[in-house]
Amino acid sequence: MYFGLTPDDVRKFAYELAIAYEVDLPQSWTENQKAGKDWFCSFLKRHPNISIRAAEATSLARAMNFNRNNVSNRHKFAPNDIWNLDETGATTVQKPSKVVAKKGEKQVGAIVSAERGVLVTVCQAINAVGNATTPMFIFPRVKYQGYFIRDGPPGSIGRANGSGWMQEDDFLAFIKHFANFSKPSKEKPLLLLLDNAGPHLSIETLDFAKENGIVILSFPPHTSHKLQPLDRSVYGPFKTYLRSAQDSWMKTHPGERMTIYDIPGVVKEALSKANTPINITNGFRKCGIFPFNRDIFEDFDFAPADTTDQPEAEDEPIAEDESIADNEPVAENEPVAENEPLTENEPVAENDDFEIPPPVVNASQLSTPNEILEDEPSTSAACRRLPFSPETIRPFPVAPPRKNKGHGRKTLKSAILTDTPEKEAIMKRKSASESKGKSKSKSKTPNNTQKEKPSKGTDWYCEICGVFSGGL
């Protein structure tokens, strides 16, 4: 659920459980308010399937939005017609690979090109049978020159803009490159899966795709880490091979700095190892795209979203004056209260009055888990011991209901972007955003508070003291 316990938390948790269940404790546990280190080491030995792992930072938006409601076509596509597109980055400063060093050394260094790297965006598409298009490189330069990709993969293309990130014009250029590679048509359309990033929602791109038989389907927001084949099985190995290729480049070019024009060469070496048919097809299989499997994700995959799921509205209570006749049959589908004990051969009182069952007491309200309510009759059912469950001591985290911030932002969803209604909605949002930006720019008044400087040769007085200061 992405709320893992640190070793210190586990030791404190063990102490809390021991107190709650009246277990004999060592004195050191009571003094430190947590279990000892020797107990934790023995705990790991008793459970070999548990280990201490470095947690990967996962944004709250990804944990919240990957749920069953978002992940659950009217077109039918063959596997060679199903494509996935995504971008990644390659920087001129690599993360050094692990090296062999002497034990006890406090610092082991590795040469990198510079302190801060320059990013080059790499974009490609893959399909469900294991094929991949040649990539496109986007360089952080104002003008693009052909020699930028001279060492890149054969058939690759390049673009340039000031930021080096994907822009709408760059994405349109890649879609045209993709169409030349895959040869789609209206008679034999292709399905292109991608995230709904801003540059992917260009009206010119959607028009071109619709005219050339490319059906663009977007993923739900913040779910690409689970639903995008490129992220699942290609770009991970690609980054590993890229670091290794950059390390080799630094060793073969001592004293030189890696530039953005050297990136296509190392990317060529890394992509040839990462874009294997087995990696590509495994990505589509893990995402349940092909072979199609709507139940590919299990309950534990959606567990992180359980902390933010909103409870369903409770049924309205029955009015006090409404009652059920004693002889009235009960409907078969009527639910039975979970808190009402059902015992066999329970004697019925002579009168027809029903006693109100005692309130359900939470385990946290009891001084000890084995405590029995004083008002509860001494029966065998009442003397049952509380079953062991760590959740009674530390329940799972539950987020409070979301507050409406009133920003009026439209929540995006998975949609076929080339459909006319979706395209018109995108046009409407873009026009509203542009008109809002123009109105803000018009409302800004020029700053006239700055006084004009006196021209050369004029006499002027000091505004503070009033003394004549002469001419300039």
Whether 185 maps to a domain, the answer reads yes
The segment with the largest mean pLDDT, out of 103-107, 140-144, 375-379, 387-391, is 140-144
> Does residue 233 contact residue 283 with C-beta atoms inside 8 Å?
yes
Same domain, 35 and 152: no
Looking at the chain, the whole-number percentage of residues with pLDDT higher than 90 is 38
- Whether residues 26 and 126 share a domain: the answer is no
What's the pLDDT at 41?
93
Residues 284 and 131: beta-carbon distance below 8 Å? no
Residue 69 forms part of a structural domain: no
What pLDDT shows up at residue 363? 42
Higher-pLDDT residue of 129 and 469 is 129
183 pLDDT more than 80:
yes
> Which residues is 120 bridged to in the sheet?
90
With 0-12 CB in 10 A as exposed, 13-18 as middle and 19+ as buried, what is 237? Answer: middle
Which stretches does DSSP call E strand in 58-183? 82-91, 119-127, 136-140, 157-161
Domain count, the chain: 2
When pLDDT is cut at 50, 70 and 90, the band that residue 325 belongs to is: very low
Spatial neighbors of 355 by CB under 8 A, at least 6 apart, are: none
Q: Which two tokens stand for residue 241?
A: 């091979």
Q: Which H or E run contains 40?
A: helix 37-46
Q: Do the Cβ atoms of 227 and 287 come closer than 8 Å?
A: yes
Residue position matching structure tokens 């060793």: 251
Residues 123 and 231 placed together within one structural domain of the fold = yes
Q: What is the pLDDT of residues 21-74, one digit of tens each?
A: 888 889 899 899 899 999 999 999 999 998 888 876 665 554 454 445 544 445
170 and 251 co-located in one domain? yes
Q: Do 139 and 39 share a structural domain?
A: no
Nearest to 168, CA basis, from 140, 139, 135, 197? 197
pLDDT at 358 over 50: no
Per-residue pLDDT at 144? 95
250 belongs to a structural domain:
yes
Q: Tell me: do 25 and 83 sit in the same domain.
A: no
Residue 421 domain flag? no
pLDDT over 90 (residue 436)? no
Predicted local confidence at residue 443, as pLDDT: 60
Q: In what order do the strands lie in the sheet with 136-140?
A: 157-161, 136-140, 119-127, 82-91, 190-194, 214-218
**Side chain identity at residue 258, one-letter code:** M
Which ranges of 183-305 does DSSP label H, i.e. alpha helix? 203-211, 224-227, 229, 235-252, 263-274, 277-286
Cα separation, 472 vs 209, whole angstroms: 66
35 and 168 share one domain:
no
* 8 A C-beta contact, residue 138 and residue 160: yes
Sequence-distant (6+) residues with CB within 8 A of 406 are none
Q: Is the pLDDT of residue 371 over 50?
A: no
- Does 328 map to a domain? no
Whether 406 is covered by a domain: the verdict is no
pLDDT of residue 302: 57
Pair (38, 84) in one structural domain: no
CATH code for the domain in which residue 240 is found = 3.30.420.10
> CB within 8 A of 28, min separation 6: which ones?
36
Answer yes or no: are the C-beta atoms of 138 and 165 closer than 8 Å.
yes
Q: How far apart are CA 163 and CA 74, in angstroms?
A: 39
Asked if residues 278 and 291 have their Cβ atoms less than 8 Å apart, the reply is: no
Q: What is the pLDDT of residue 366?
A: 43
Tens of pLDDT, residues 294-308? 878 776 555 665 665
Query: Same domain for 40 and 90?
Result: no
Q: CA-CA distance, 246 to 264, in Å (whole number)?
A: 11
Query: For residue 115, what are its two tokens?
Result: 């302190």
- Do 37 and 135 sit in the same domain of this protein? no
Q: What is the pLDDT of residue 412?
A: 66
pLDDT of 161 strictly over 80: yes
**Mean pLDDT of the chain, nearest integer:** 76
Mean pLDDT of 249-278: 94
Boundary residue ending a domain (303, 325, 350): 303
Q: What tens digit of pLDDT does each residue of 445-462 get?
A: 555 545 444 444 445 556
d(CA 342, CA 447): 79
- Domain final residue pick, 268, 283, 303: 303
Q: For residue 25, is it within any domain?
A: yes
**Single residue among 245, 269, 303 that ends a domain in this structure:** 303
The mean pLDDT of 249-264, rounded to a whole number, is: 93
pLDDT, residue 447, reads 54
- 82 lies in some domain: yes
pLDDT score of 441 more than 80: no
Identify the residue whose tokens are 């690409």: 224
The backbone torsions φ and ψ at residue 79, rounded to the nearest 5 degrees and listed phi first, read -60, -30
* 58 vs 143: CA distance, rounded Å: 36
What CA–CA distance (Å, rounded) separates 10 from 12?
5
In three state form, how does the secondary structure of 276-304 look? CHHHHHHHHHHCCCCCCCCCCCCHHHCHH
Q: State which H helix or E strand residue 434 sits in.
A: helix 420-443
Separation between Cα atoms, residue 471 and residue 219, nearest integer Å: 70
Other Cβ atoms less than 10 A from the Cβ of 110: the count is: 12
Q: Does 87 share its domain with 226?
A: yes
Check residue 197 and give its pLDDT: 86
Mean pLDDT highest for which of 57-66, 183-192, 293-302, 358-367? 183-192
pLDDT of residue 17: 87
- 246 pLDDT above the threshold of 90: yes
Tell me which of 91 and 408 has the higher pLDDT: 91
Based on the domain organization, do 87 and 222 belong to the same domain? yes
Rounded average pLDDT over 256-285 = 95
Domain range for residue 131? 76-98+114-303
